[in-house]
Chains A and B, each alone.
Chain A
Amino acid sequence: MSARPTADPTAAADRVGRSERRKDAGEKIRGRAQFAGDINLPRMLHGKVLRAELPHARIVSIDTSAAEAMPGVVCVLLGSELEHFDPYWGHAIKDRQILAVDRVRFAGEPVAAVAAEDEATAEAAVRSIVVDYEELPVAGTIAEAIADDAPPIHEGALRPGLFHGLGELAEREGNVCYRYRLDAGSVELAEAEAEAELTVEGEYEFPAVYQYAMETHTVVAEFGDGEITLWASCQHPFLVRAEIADLFNLPIGRVRVIVPYLGGGFGSKSYTKMEPITAALAWKAGRPVRIANRVDESMVTTRRHGMRCRMTTTASRDGKLRSRSVRLWLDTGAYADNGPRVCATAGDAAPGPYAWDAVHVDASCVYSNTAPAGSYRAFGAVHMQWIGESQIDELARRAGIDPLEIRRRNLLRPGQPVRPDGTGKPLDADLVGDVEKAAAAVGWDEPKGEWTGRGVSVGLLAAGAHPVSRANVRMEADGTVEVNVGTTEMGQGARTVMAQIAAQELAIDTDRVTVQGADTRFTPYDRSTGASRSTTLAGLAVQRAGADLRERLLKTAAGAWGVERAGLEVAEGVVRGAGREAAYPELIAERFGFVGGEVVGEGEVRPEQGSGSYAEGPVFWEICIAAAEVGVDPETGRVEVTRTATIADVGKAINPLLVERQDEGAVLQGVGNALFEEMVYADGVLTNDNLLDYRVPRIEDMPAQMTGIIVENADGPGPYGAKGCGEGAQAATPAAIATALADAGVPMNELPLTPERVWRRIQELQEAKSR
């Protein structure tokens, strides 16, 4: 018998709730962690894509003869060669082809692809292809796309994709591909607005921005005998697998997606991106192919939706909120990608976390001749929160109430319905308590100088996506454990958190647990890595799998010892009870009568009621709360964020340090979105498609004080009461910066808050004052 256990499974022995070291740190700091671009298969070719230079044009002819004649070129692929596949894809709406056949709808749209022995040859070959275009009228902005005489970007009925997930597809209206409407309340909106004592209304612009995961979209594809294998930088391997199988008419099991480490995701690698082209090129070449985008290519592969919005919010003189009406248009670019869901989520977030007498939301997802927009951290919520919260602050100013006080009076309380029509989950968090903590952390009541402001923002984000996750936990004969779970490690620390959960359930050290990336051939199904869902849903599947494995070990011991299972328990790597104990390897040897075998536990999460659809959900409401302090230089218009505080209302922090670290990253992305990030288009063509002209936050942009506050009320649906995090801080930060800047005297209705825009606004306000 092995050494006696030294500890009981008490709090001190808990593996969850502890800031354990990242499981992936050793490989990553040594440069050994493998990313898709580091994979080199024997006979692998390099692919490059010819992308349209025009935003909207008919393809008259394509001449590939020079490319095909080039030494080192193995093949050139055109869309016309793929028509026998029904080459339309798109998880929400099947609206795009693998390669454009007769028409391009955005500058950057793939038109042809080349596979060559090396990347430079592929690139030269791509440049030698001559395409003759006939230009078509361009709708490069939301205004142009919704105008009465707008050029139609798509014709015919909309075809739903495999994962549309938002109910029936309505008839397409012009360039609008999806519409979300909400009308609710105890009184009519018109009545509420007519009777309002205080009214704030405005028009707002939110810029398209780029996720900039530092690793660009990268895929290696091998097209074998009726089988495709992909090594892909993708967040949702199982959805990619299904879309690729559908596209190439293969059984799902004949498509294998293997996910190495991701060099950041933030939504940019959600759903399917470069996988169809790479697979098609490998099919034609008959050899493995790698396509690694350059940054300018990834910037036309996906981005965050730009938005125009009109909002009106009313209140009574004492600051009681009455009504809100919202009309918004999201620019989803030439293909829908995740636009419909972004639109529904923005519509969901538009009312904000308040109770209204009347609320009306009308949100349109609009096609335009720009590159497709999809998911980016906190989509929908980040779009709406700065607008809604700016209006709440303006009402507070007019009512003569402190911005914190107007929120205390009006915020939803736990148990109240979040959706104004009463559907979905009620609120499961203490918003007032949370926002007070955030405000205190930026010195809310401290005196402040001229041109300094402080702001708070509160919002809710429908999180979790569809609640389907499976996992298994396997114990080898030596007692080491492997967790098989489909969550993609993209920096958030999933492999560490999953290991901690399994270790907790089995009462072993986290060091004994290994977690690999997904290989869809072996890894149990998981819907996706996004929507802050992994710890909550995949984590719950791992917890259940761990518990199932534990139960099998207990039953093995009971059988071997001839005792009742009920009196046995696990502790520190042993089963004990009935006056006996045995380490796990001994039990496995006992079970198989041999030094070998394994014990596997299974865990599954699926909708516990109804279909788990978006309308019935969400899985949980992610809390989006931040406070900020800014200083603005009236001479230059430069805004400096001096203090931020964010709330991670996570129910239970499995690894508190990783929660804090993820939110710090969200704050800086929020600073970028608020202060300087913006994709600039001229007639639909992106003009700042590089990191020199598109500025992401650098180390000097870090606020001097960043406070991350973890709130643990064990009120989440995940393991140990956990719920997800990492997006709320991103939605809340731009809003807190905008409200802080308004508090400093400069209310703005357009992001980013560039020095020029802020300076012009200051001039406007001063002129208005002197008049």
Chain B
Amino acid sequence: MRIGINGTRRELTVPARELLLDTLRDRLGLTGAKRSCDVQVCGTCTVLVDGEPVSSCTYLTCDADGREVLTIEGFARSDEFAQFERAFVDRAALQCGFCTPGFMLTLKALRDAGELRDRDDVIAGLDGNVCRCTGYKSIVEAAEALAGEPAPAAAEARAGGAAASGSRDAA
């Protein structure tokens, strides 16, 4: 199968039952996505597949054939990430850090989809991510800061008067 991993095309041969989380962690050495609950509750294994957040612990790698997977390692290289870094680090919106990449990727997907406008969006949108350390308050504050800030690409697109294009808008 062919799969885009953080912008690079990869040719992979994997067993049909292999989970995306195992492919990322064991085959590709991308350990930013973590395993915890195994039942799609905690969100610590969240990655984006074609811009949509998925729980990679219950997502078959073969279902990502022909799609683009974004993990925290890829996202951390983007210009947009600087906003996330400020939002989370300035507010100490992380403690053990095990869940943090999952929260960040979910928030990115929400914002790209235009579904990160206010506190209600934050609460509804982060329902699938568990954090045991922070009590969520700091994460909500970080997310609200991101909600009030356009993504750099979107800001550029608006400034140039061009129609924004991307997989999220098409979907």
Interface size class of B (residues with CB under 8 A): 35 or more
How near does chain A come to B94, taking the closest CB pair, in angstroms?
Answer: 6
User: Does residue A690 face the partner (Cβ distance < 8 Å to B)?
Assistant: yes
Q: Could you tell me if A664 and B98 are in contact, using CB atoms closer than 8 angstroms?
A: no
Q: Which residues of A from 255 to 313 have beta carbons under 8 Å from B?
A: 261-266, 292, 294-295
Q: Which residues of chain B are near A405, meaning CB under 8 Å?
A: none
**Segment at the A interface, from B99-107, B108-116, B163-171:** B99-107
Q: Could you tell me if A214 and B132 are in contact, using CB atoms closer than 8 angstroms?
A: yes
Contacts A213-B132, A491-B95, A664-B137; A691 near B88 (Cβ below 8 A)? no
Instruction: Give the distance in Å from the alpha carbon of A698 to the alpha carbon of B130 in the complex.
Output: 6
Q: Which residues of chain B are near A661, meaning CB under 8 Å?
A: 92, 95, 134, 138
Partner of B92, one of A263, A295, A657, A699: A657
Partner of A29, one of B29, B97, B126, B138: B97
User: Does residue A216 face the partner (Cβ distance < 8 Å to B)?
Assistant: yes
Instruction: Give the distance in Å from the alpha carbon of A692 to the alpha carbon of B127 in the complex.
Output: 14
Q: Which residues of chain B are near A668, meaning CB under 8 Å?
A: 134-136
Instruction: Give the distance in Å from the alpha carbon of A212 to the alpha carbon of B96 in the complex.
Output: 13
**Segment at the B interface, from A17-25, A348-356, A359-367:** A17-25
Partner of B132, one of A216, A261, A266, A658: A266
Majority secondary structure of chain B interface residues (helix, strand, loop or mixed):
loop
Q: Which residue of chain B is the closest to A266 with respect to CB atoms?
A: B132
Instruction: Give the distance in Å from the alpha carbon of A706 to the alpha carbon of B140 in the complex.
Output: 12
Contacts A29-B89, A667-B135, A696-B132; A702 near B140 (Cβ below 8 A)? yes
User: Does residue B62 face the partner (Cβ distance < 8 Å to A)?
Assistant: no
Instruction: Give the distance in Å from the alpha carbon of A706 to the alpha carbon of B139 in the complex.
Output: 13
Contacts A29-B97, A264-B96; A699 near B32 (Cβ below 8 A)? no
Q: Which residues of chain A are near B94, meaning CB under 8 Å?
A: 22, 25, 28-29
Q: Which residues of chain B are near A697, meaning CB under 8 Å?
A: 135-136
User: Does residue A493 face the partner (Cβ distance < 8 Å to B)?
Assistant: yes
Q: Could you tell me if A19 and B41 are in contact, using CB atoms closer than 8 angstroms?
A: no
Contacts A31-B72, A665-B133; A295 near B36 (Cβ below 8 A)? yes
User: Does residue A32 face the partner (Cβ distance < 8 Å to B)?
Assistant: yes
- Tally A residues with Cβ within 8 Å of B: 56
How near does chain B come to A217, taking the closest CB pair, in angstroms?
Answer: 12
Q: Which residues of A from 15 to 51 have beta carbons under 8 Å from B?
A: 19, 21-22, 24-35, 37-38, 40
Instruction: Give the distance in Å from the alpha carbon of A669 to the alpha carbon of B38 in the complex.
Output: 21
Contacts A29-B85, A30-B72, A264-B132; A492 near B36 (Cβ below 8 A)? no
Q: Could you tell me if A24 and B97 are in contact, using CB atoms closer than 8 angstroms?
A: yes
How near does chain B come to A704, taking the closest CB pair, in angstroms?
Answer: 10
User: Does residue A662 face the partner (Cβ distance < 8 Å to B)?
Assistant: yes
User: Does residue B71 face the partner (Cβ distance < 8 Å to A)?
Assistant: yes
Partner of B96, one of A215, A295, A696, A699: A215
Partner of A665, one of B29, B42, B134: B134
Contacts A24-B97, A692-B41; A32 near B32 (Cβ below 8 A)? yes
Partner of B135, one of A33, A665, A691: A665
How near does chain B come to A26, taking the closest CB pair, in angstroms?
Answer: 8
Partner of A263, one of B39, B72, B96, B104: B96
Contacts A19-B92, A25-B94, A29-B84; A38 near B31 (Cβ below 8 A)? yes
Q: Which residues of chain A are near B97, meaning CB under 8 Å?
A: 24-25, 27-29, 33, 261, 263, 491
Q: Which residues of chain A are near B33, meaning CB under 8 Å?
A: 31
Q: Which residues of chain A are near B35, meaning CB under 8 Å?
A: 37, 292
The interface centre, meaning the residue of B91, B92, B97, B100 with most chain A CB atoms within 10 A of its CB, is B97
Q: Which residues of chain A are near B90, meaning CB under 8 Å?
A: 21
User: Does residue B76 face the partner (Cβ distance < 8 Å to A)?
Assistant: yes
User: Does residue B73 face the partner (Cβ distance < 8 Å to A)?
Assistant: yes
Q: Could you tell me if A664 and B134 are in contact, using CB atoms closer than 8 angstroms?
A: yes
Q: Could you tell me if A21 and B89 are in contact, using CB atoms closer than 8 angstroms?
A: yes
Q: Which residues of chain B are near A30, meaning CB under 8 Å?
A: 32, 72-73, 76, 101
Q: Which residues of chain B are near A699, meaning CB under 8 Å?
A: 122-123, 126-127, 129, 131, 136, 139-140
Q: Which residue of chain B is the closest to A46 with respect to CB atoms?
A: B26
Q: Mark A687-719, 1 if CB is under 8 A from B, else 0.
A: 000111000111110100010000000000000
Q: Could you tell me if B95 and A702 are in contact, using CB atoms closer than 8 angstroms?
A: no
Instruction: Give the distance in Å from the alpha carbon of A31 to the alpha carbon of B104 in the complex.
Output: 11
Contacts A214-B34, A702-B140; A691 near B39 (Cβ below 8 A)? yes
Instruction: Give the distance in Å from the alpha carbon of A37 to the alpha carbon of B26 in the complex.
Output: 11
How near does chain B come to A97, taking the closest CB pair, in angstroms?
Answer: 28
Contacts A21-B90, A29-B104; A706 near B34 (Cβ below 8 A)? no
Instruction: Give the distance in Å from the alpha carbon of A40 to the alpha carbon of B28 in the complex.
Output: 12
Q: Which residues of chain A are near B25, meaning CB under 8 Å?
A: 38
Q: Could you tell me if B34 and A215 are in contact, using CB atoms closer than 8 angstroms?
A: yes
User: Does residue A666 face the partner (Cβ distance < 8 Å to B)?
Assistant: yes
User: Does residue B37 face the partner (Cβ distance < 8 Å to A)?
Assistant: yes
User: Does residue B61 face the partner (Cβ distance < 8 Å to A)?
Assistant: no
The interface centre, meaning the residue of B33, B36, B135, B137 with most chain A CB atoms within 10 A of its CB, is B135
Q: Which residue of chain B is the closest to A265 with respect to CB atoms?
A: B96
User: Does residue A490 face the partner (Cβ distance < 8 Å to B)?
Assistant: yes
Q: Could you tell me if B135 and A706 are in contact, using CB atoms closer than 8 angstroms?
A: yes
User: Does residue B56 face the partner (Cβ distance < 8 Å to A)?
Assistant: no
Q: Which residues of chain A are near B122, meaning CB under 8 Å?
A: 699
Sample of 9 A–B contacts (CB below 8 Å)? A29-B76, A215-B96, A264-B98, A492-B95, A664-B134, A699-B122, A699-B140, A700-B123, A702-B137
Binding site for B on A (CB under 8 A): 19, 21-22, 24-35, 37-38, 40, 212-216, 261-266, 292, 294-295, 490-493, 657-658, 661-662, 664-669, 690-692, 696-700, 702, 706
Cβ-closest 10 pairs across A and B: A31-B32, A28-B97, A491-B96, A491-B95, A263-B98, A664-B135, A668-B135, A31-B72, A691-B37, A30-B76
Further 13 A-B residue pairs, CB within 8 A, beyond A22-B92, A32-B73, A664-B138: A29-B72, A214-B130, A261-B97, A491-B133, A661-B95, A661-B138, A665-B133, A668-B135, A696-B132, A699-B129, A699-B131, A702-B137, A706-B135
